[in-house]
Chain A
Amino acid sequence: MAEVVIELEGVRKVYNSGPTRVEALRGVDLRVRRGEFLMIVGPSGSGKSTLLHIMGALDTPTSGRVKVAGREISNLSDRELARIRNRYVGFVFQEFNLIETLTVLENVMFPMALADGEDEERAKRLLLKVGLSEEHFDKFPNQLSGGERQRVAIARALANDPEVILADEPTGQLDTKNSHRIMEVFKSLNEDGRTIVMVTHDLSLTRWADRVVVLRDGKIVEEGSPDEVTL
């Protein structure tokens, strides 16, 4: 059995928005194993993104236990949480979320600059690996297509060689052709041994995963291989 890299036990998350109280997660238990491609699916508002943010130490649960990199995140300082986000996990978002004032190459080097220092050669290798040619390196994000931007975001997520890639609807802004290409990039990374956790509401993507978790109203309602899960 592969080692568990992220572990959630009885995780609840409650948001208070004025008088409204929203329970985004209602007792989630989940283990992510090294090297697996896990896909979390569910309708809008089912708590997928919240779950992903908690798994990446970007958010903390209202109650329950979350262990990332073998450490319980509830009691970690800002510095320690930032270190986990910088080195242990890499986020990829639906809206790409590149820094507009940095070039493609600099966007990839940014997480490196927050860690041990900028490594331009490594950043270039990562960009080539996700399928971006050198001519794009000095371009700014607004000069790229959606598919190209998402490739940069994936390269940025890989900047500090993280254990886990956490992708939140990474194909949500892309057409079918580009979605397929981006999924191929994720699959290739997974085949290289990288753990991938992807959140999506696009059920056609589940075939790329090893395991699928179905979330509804903040609870896991089904779990299994893509063939086992009845969607």
Chain B
Amino acid sequence: MITLKMAVRNLARRKVRSLITILGVAIGISAVVSISSVAKGMQHDIKVALGGSASLIVKSKTAPDPLSSLLDQSVEERVRRIPGVKHTVSVWFNNRVVTIGGRRQPIMIAAVERGQYDFVVGSRVEPIRGKLPGDGEAALGSLAWNQIRPRLGDTVDLGGVKLRLAGEFRTSSQLANMCMITTLDSVKALRGRAVSCVFVQTSDPRRVKREIERRIPGVEAIETSKAVQGMINNLRTVEIAGLALSCIAGIVGGLGVANTMLMSVLERRREIGVMKAVGATRARVMKIFLVESMLISLIGGALGCVLGVAGTYVVVDLLQRLEGKAITMIVTPDTILRGFLVAIGIGVFSGLYPAWKAAKVDPVKALRHE
């Protein structure tokens, strides 16, 4: 307890120096937290874009991706008959300019069969204004809503089909938050018998994929977990590069801690001599100085976590408002934990050498020479 009090008071005694050192650590940690939370958000968006809760997405073999694919709606019925298929949902994606409340706006439309929005997005689609759309209705994601600023009940003209704006929704995916959703039947006049793809749930994706491709000519079934994993692996490389950069910031922060602690050891040589004179072992002296460097790093870590989350939130929000760019940011306990672990690492490694120097102080010289 006394050791901790000493550490706190020593930091408080040299406020400016402590604050600068803490900020140095905080910048490194905030970079780690920020990059981790944006990377997690991007991973989440990839999962949503590649199938939500579905284990397979059936699309046209010739289409490069599900969004630009076109299939006959009978494909879903044929897929459903394959043993092992638990659930299917057809989705029609369409990117078009719509008129909402008299204002023209390009937007991605996702028309989902029987309104199974949660299944397609892979997380809860929550109405925050009005309700989720039924037949003849549409709803806008929160980002699209903020950009267009319509009113509930406005007419949404899709160019041939008019829907009533029933609500605004929010999901954990910023990608989905930029879309307009409706039911598959609402846009029948636009799509005819076409759908973009079929979302399939099965416990045996590999076998069902083979069966689908064998039985239905011209289609391809994508295993979402593999596709997601592939993209996430690519993303992870970028994430690692980002984390490596933030580690450099962390190392700079650590050097700041080491410098502060070395100065502290030099200034407190006499105090170290006294500690030894009253019975502190070398190990105990090391511990006392390590507690201080850990304290600096943990305060820096906590501040870095707050700055990382708040700073990223502000940047993401500004990008959405000013540029209309959707960036998902997900902060999980392990993101914060990662920040703290890096902070602890900084505290231990940067405090080790100064603490060892302190432990080596000769008490007789320290007491005699100052």
Residues in chain A within 8 A of chain B (CB atoms): 49-50, 53, 56, 58-59, 78-79, 82-83, 85-87, 90-91, 93, 97-102, 106, 109-111, 113-115, 118, 156, 159-160
Contacts and interface: CB of A to CB of B under 8 A. Distances in A.
Nearest to A80: B281
Given A99-B274, A102-B2, A114 B280 contact: yes
Given A58-B363, A97-B270, A118-B1, A85 B9 contact: no
Given A97-B270, A101-B9, A115-B279, A59 B364 contact: yes
A93 B364 CA distance: 12
A122 B270 CA distance: 26
Q: Chain B binding site: helix, strand, loop or mixed by DSSP?
A: helix
B60 to A, nearest CB: 73
B236 interface: no
A94 to B, nearest CB: 10
A106 B278 contact: no
B271 A49 contact: no
B276 A156 contact: no
A122 to B, nearest CB: 14
A97 B276 CA distance: 12
B175 to A, nearest CB: 54
B81 interface: no
B148 interface: no
A200 B229 CA distance: 79
Interface of B: 1-3, 5-6, 9-10, 13, 270-271, 273-284, 363-364, 367-368
Given A49-B368, A58-B363, A101-B13, A118 B2 contact: yes
Contacts of B6: 99, 101-102
A87 B279 CA distance: 8
B1 A102 contact: no
B110 to A, nearest CB: 63
Nearest to A99: B271
Given A58-B363, A58-B364, A91 B278 contact: yes
Contacts of A93: 274, 277, 367
Contacts of B284: 82, 114
A52 to B, nearest CB: 10
A25 to B, nearest CB: 13
A50 B273 CA distance: 15
A90 B274 CA distance: 11
B279 A85 contact: yes
A118 B3 CA distance: 12
A59 to B, nearest CB: 5
Nearest to A101: B9
Contacts of A109: 2
Contacts of A101: 5-6, 9-10, 13
Nearest to B280: A114
Contacts of A115: 279
A135 B290 CA distance: 33
Nearest to B279: A86
- Most chain-A Cβ atoms within 10 A of its Cβ — which of B13, B283, B284? B284
5 contacts: A79-B283, A83-B279, A99-B271, A101-B6, A102-B6
Contacts of B275: 99, 110
Nearest to B362: A59
Contact of B5 (A58, A100, A106, A160): A106
A91 B13 contact: no
A8 B273 CA distance: 24
A58 B279 CA distance: 9
Nearest to A56: B277
A111 B280 CA distance: 8
Contact of B277 (A58, A78, A79): A58
B364 A114 contact: no
Contacts of A114: 278-280, 284
Contacts of B9: 101-102
A110 B364 contact: no
Nearest to B9: A101
A59 B13 CA distance: 32
Contacts of A86: 278-280
A145 B276 CA distance: 25
A113 B2 contact: yes
Contacts of B276: 58, 82, 85
A107 B277 CA distance: 13
Given A100-B271, A118-B1, 11 more contacts: A58-B276, A58-B277, A85-B277, A90-B278, A91-B277, A93-B277, A93-B367, A97-B273, A101-B6, A101-B13, A118-B2
B281 A82 contact: yes
Nearest to A106: B2
B1 A82 contact: no
Given A53-B364, A58-B276, A79-B281, A113 B13 contact: no
A83 B284 CA distance: 12
A62 B335 CA distance: 57
A18 to B, nearest CB: 14
A87 B3 CA distance: 19
A109 B2 CA distance: 8
A82 B276 CA distance: 7
Contacts of B10: 101
A99 B367 CA distance: 13
A81 B13 CA distance: 32
